[in-house]
């Protein structure tokens, strides 16, 4: 504990010095210069990663189709594990199969691993992306988001089972896992060591860069923007003090992430239930106040999924729209969440595979669906494709405000909590990639934590749209390596399940 506190003070001091130095320099024009320099690189990367193919008049991003296909494959290959294993997953999270064994490898409980992973996926997208789907394609897109979330449960199962099976246990008792480790070790076990090592290094580089953008700068920027808008935009005291808000977020982030996964899990295990509960309860109040419109909303979701109007590509167009937003939201198939799940205390890799299935269910099937229902029963206009006039967070906010006038303030708190929890979770994802590339030394981990926290502050203070586009592409680029690895190791996952249930039924577990 003393070592952690000393490290925490060191990191906080460095972060504070970096922030003070930045805030006292003239950074006007810095973001524009970097943005212009980076634009061609970001565009080239995005054009490659998000290349689309025309299907029935609609543009289908290949990477999104691969992610959904991966989930569908594992759903069928593992015998609908997402359905028949759901009850068992709840029992594991509840602790029915846990033993108080201090010698069990790992650092956090099943519940803490789940909340850490959920904090990395539940975010601004659950508020904004659902509204975008309904604005563009009507309620029908919600149906396909749910479908993508359900099949995504199966790919989460596969990648998180492998994450625990091939994780790295360090002499100091810490563990690191995730695609980098199971791509290298798992592919080597299948006699493809060079391919596995290449995919692992590629994945590690992608996640380190991607984390600094989508898991860091984007989150702090969204938290700052919504904070300023709610407190009065230009009239706000903080409107021109982005670096100050960024400094607070950076220091708050540093205080948590320096303690490693145990510290992160301790925070997320309390923060996730609170922020998700606050959002869901408020949403249910709004839905309850419009209960007479609920049958219409459900019917609109189902009918709109198969007979949408005014959407390019018709049914295929709205299907692709729903799939794309679901893939962006729950990240099933990308492999990032397996890093958090790999830290669990267990000797049975399959148990965390079951627990991981709950993540897309919570993120997409529950929270995204509830957001959609709120919008449809309040501001959606029957007979008109999409909700008119506004979209994104503004649309969701107006939907809640139609019943609870002061809800924009609640939404501000929720989004800031979503953004903060996402940052602390993704800091661990990036750290795992950093450790894989540069080793597990204290100085190595400290250097990454300092870089991450400085980028938290930069996300508030400057607008690097091209950099964020590039990092977004990097996150989905690493999915290519993960999907290849999952394809090779699918039989390994199936054998793990069979062996686990054989021993469980024989009461050997």
pLDDT tens, position by position, 315-338: 666 777 677 777 777 778 888 889
**24 closest CA partner among 216, 221, 228, 247:** 247
Q: Residues near 290 by Cβ (< 8 Å), separated by ≥ 6?
A: 377, 378, 403
pLDDT above 50 for 26: no
Give the pLDDT of residue 219: 82
Residue 288 phi/psi, 5-degree rounding, is: -60, -35
Instruction: Report the candidate in 158, 156, 131, 160 with the shortest Cα–Cα distance to residue 145.
Output: 131
Q: Tell me which H or E stretch contains 12.
A: helix 2-23
Q: How many CB atoms lie within 10 A of CB 51?
A: 11
Rounded average pLDDT over 200-204:
94
Backbone angles phi, psi at 323, to 5 degrees: -60, -40
Note the pLDDT tens digit of each residue in 96-105: 776 655 667 7
**Tens digits of residue pLDDT in 239-269:** 666 777 778 888 888 888 877 788 888 888 8
What is the pLDDT at residue 232? 62
- Cβ-contact 444, 359 below 8 angstroms: no
Which of these ranges, 307-311, 371-375, 466-470, has the smallest mean pLDDT? 307-311
Query: What's the angle, vertex CA 436, arms to CA 481 and CA 121, rounded to 5?
Result: 60
Kindly give, in sequence order, each residue whose CB lies less than 8 Å from that of residue 344, ignoring residues fewer than 6 positions away.
Answer: 106, 107, 108, 109, 110, 112, 113, 164, 351, 352, 355
Beta bridge partners of 108: 344
pLDDT of residue 484: 94
Beta bridge pairs of residue 175: 169
Average pLDDT value for the chain: 80
User: What is the share, in percent, of the chain residues with pLDDT greater than 70?
Assistant: 80
Assess whether pLDDT exceeds 50 at residue 313.
Answer: no
- Structural domains for the chain: 44-505 (1.10.4160)
Given pLDDT bands bounded at 50, 70 and 90, which one contains residue 355? very high
Distance of CA 157 to the CA centre of its chain: 15
Please check whether residue 357 is in contact with residue 156, taking contact to mean a CB–CB distance below 8 angstroms: yes
The pLDDT of residue 311 = 55
């Amino acid at each position: 504990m003393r070592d952690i506190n000393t490290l925490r003070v060191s990191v906080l001091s460095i972060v504070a010095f970096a922030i003070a130095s930045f805030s006292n320099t003239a950074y006007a024009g810095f973001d524009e210069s970097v943005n212009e320099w980076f634009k061609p690189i970001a565009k080239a990367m995005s054009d490659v990663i998000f290349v689309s193919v025309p299907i029935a008049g609609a543009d289908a991003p290949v990477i999104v189709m691969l992610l959904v296909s991966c989930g569908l494959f594992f759903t069928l290959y593992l015998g609908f594990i997402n359905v028949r294993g759901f009850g068992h997953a709840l029992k594991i999270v509840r602790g029915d199969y846990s033993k108080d064994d201090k010698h069990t490898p790992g650092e956090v409980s099943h519940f803490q691993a789940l909340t850490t992973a959920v904090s990395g996926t539940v975010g601004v997208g659950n508020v904004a992306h659902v509204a975008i789907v309904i604005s563009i394609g009507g309620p029908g897109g919600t149906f396909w988001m749910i479908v993508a979330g359900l099949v995504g449960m199966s790919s989460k199962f596969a990648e998180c089972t492998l994450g625990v099976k091939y994780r790295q246990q360090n002499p100091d008792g810490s563990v690191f896992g995730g695609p980098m480790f199971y791509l290298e070790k798992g592919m080597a076990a299948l006699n493809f060591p060079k391919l596995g090592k290449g995919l692992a290094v590629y994945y590690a580089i992608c996640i380190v860069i991607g984390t600094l953008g989508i898991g860091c700068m984007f989150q702090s920027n969204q938290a700052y923007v919504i904070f300023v808008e709610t407190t009065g935009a230009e009239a706000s005291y903080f409107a021109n003090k982005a670096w100050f808000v960024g400094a607070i977020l950076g220091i708050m982030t540093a205080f948590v992430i320096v303690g490693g996964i145990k510290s992160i899990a301790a925070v997320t295990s309390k923060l996730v239930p609170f922020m998700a509960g606050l959002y869901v309860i408020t949403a249910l109040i709004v839905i309850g106040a419009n209960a007479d419109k609920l049958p219409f909303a459900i019917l609109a979701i189902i009918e709109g999924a198969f007979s949408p109007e005014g959407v390019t590509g018709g049914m295929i167009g709205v299907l692709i729209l729903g799939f794309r937003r679901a893939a962006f939201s729950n990240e099933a198939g990308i492999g990032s969440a397996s890093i958090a799940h790999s830290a669990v205390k267990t000797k049975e890799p399959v148990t965390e595979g079951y627990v991981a299935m709950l993540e897309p269910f919570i993120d997409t099937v529950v929270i995204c669906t509830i957001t959609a229902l709120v919008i449809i029963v309040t501001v959606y206009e029957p007979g008109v494709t999409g909700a008119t006039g506004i979209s994104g967070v503004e649309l969701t906010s107006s939907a809640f405000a139609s019943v609870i006038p002061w809800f924009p303030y609640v939404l501000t708190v929720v989004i800031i909590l979503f953004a903060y929890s996402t940052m602390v979770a993704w800091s661990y994802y990036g750290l795992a990639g950093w450790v894989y590339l540069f080793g597990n030394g204290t100085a190595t981990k400290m250097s990454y934590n300092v870089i991450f926290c400085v980028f938290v502050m930069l996300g508030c203070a400057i607008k690097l749209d091209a950099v964020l586009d590039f990092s977004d592409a990097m996150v989905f680029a690493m999915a290519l390596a993960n999907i290849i690895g999952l394809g090779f190791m699918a039989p390994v996952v199936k054998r793990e399940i069979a062996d686990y249930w054989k021993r469980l039924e024989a009461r050997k577990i």
